[in-house]
Structure 1
Amino acid sequence: MDMQGAWFSVRCLFRLDAEAPATYEERITLWRASSPEEAVTLAETEAGEYAANVAGEYLGLAQVYSLADEPGDGAELFSLLRDSRLQPAAYLDAFFDTGDERQGPIETFEG
């Protein structure tokens, strides 16, 4: 590790809207720190500020990942492994495509 520290990504979870159904947000932020603990401390400080700015609530979940690469094109910023007995389509439906996500198709880029 160099004198500036290593790069870490930290995923934090927020509740933005307390009304039912609540809106939850996962954010991944990037930090240069001397340890995973320091990266989480930095991220949680920022998470508190972010929650106050969006009138939300930081839920106290911080997952840290030590980057193996320098940030840049194709660098892996986060990885989370989860064991599941679900088949691929059911797994995606259960965790990533519940129908409640606020997402849409990617527009075709014409450069």
Structure 2
Amino acid sequence: MRKVSTMMIAFLLLVAACSPLKPPEADGQAGEGQNLNTDINLNPQSYRNMSVDKPTISDDQDKIREVVETEGFDAGVVSITGNHAWVNVKFSNKNEASLNEQKKTLAAKIYQAVPRYKIHVRAR
């Protein structure tokens, strides 16, 4: 008798575990009628996105170099570590006051092009 009841409990647990999941229903609650898009991908380096074009860190480095060169400066090494981008730039004017102002404006323009990084501009 004990063996039969153990088998019956095991069978009920197996059947209950294999039941299909029911999708959530709104039932007139907040959010009814909204189509929530779960395919939103805010990180372009995520491989959940199945598009052919997958931007990489080197693409971000190239974009940073492009911004520096369009501003009329010579771009050096661009190093990206985590959410920090270190940009070496050769400035023609070595005056300390104007150099700091040029660094700030260049960092702001780079940030507009690649907003996911904290930009650090260094003069070389």
Q: TM-score of the superposition, structure 1-length normalised?
A: 0.32
Normalized per residue, the structure richer in helix is: 2
Normalized per residue, the structure richer in strand is: 1
- Which structure ranks higher in relative contact order (CA pairs < 8 Å, sequence separation ≥ 6)? 1
Q: TM-score of the superposition, structure 2-length normalised?
A: 0.29
Q: Which of these two proteins has the greater Rg computed from alpha carbons?
A: 2
